[in-house]
Amino acid sequence: MGEPTSGFAFLEHTADIGIRAWGTSLPDAFERAGVGLATLMGATAAPPGRTIPIHVEGADAGGLLVAFLDELVYRCETTEGEGLASLRVTRLDAASLDAVAEFAPTSGPGEGLVVKAATYHQLDVSERPDGTAEVRVYLDV
C-alpha cells in the first residue's frame, strides 16, 4: 500500500530534528507540519477547545512555513495546561498565511522535546503538478 495522502514523519539530524509533511494541497501540508510540531513537543489535546487566530507573513513559501511553525512553538509554550487540538490553514498566498488553531486542556503534562525554533537549514517546500505538496523543515531543539 502506498503512502497516505496526508501526514508527517520525523527526520533525523545530528543537532536538530526535522519534519517531513505532505498533503493534498500546500495548506494541508502546512497543517500536517504544525500537527507534527505539536506532537514532537508533546503539546496535543483532544477537542473541543478555544480557537486562536494565527497570522504570519513571509517573503516566500519557505519563509511562511518557518514563521508559521515559530508562531506555533510560541503558542504551544504559552498555553499552559493546553495542547493543540486542531489546526486549519484558512488562507495561504505568496506573502501571508492565516490559520485557526484550537487549543484544549491536556490530561496531564505532555512529554516532548523543547523546540527553540524552525530553521532554514535544508528547508524545502514543493508543490506537485497534481496539487499535492510536501514540506521539509528542521527544528532547533
Q: Where are the domains of the chain?
A: 7-140
Quote the pLDDT of residue 30: 98
Angle at 8 between CA 10 and CA 1, to 5 degrees: 110
Please state, in angstroms and rounded to a whole number, the distance separating the CA atoms of residues 23 and 126. 11
Task: Please compute the mean of the pLDDT values over residues 104-133 and round it to a whole number.
Answer: 91
Architecture of domain 7-140: 3-Layer(bab) Sandwich (3.55)
Q: Is the pLDDT of residue 16 over 90?
A: no
Task: Please name the helix (run of DSSP H) or strand (run of DSSP E) that holds residue 76, with its range, or none.
Answer: helix 61-78
Band (9; pLDDT cuts 50, 70, 90) = confident
Q: Is the pLDDT of residue 109 over 70?
A: no
Quote the pLDDT of residue 29: 98
Is the distance from CB of 4 to CB of 24 less than 8 angstroms? no
Q: Is the pLDDT of residue 75 over 90?
A: yes
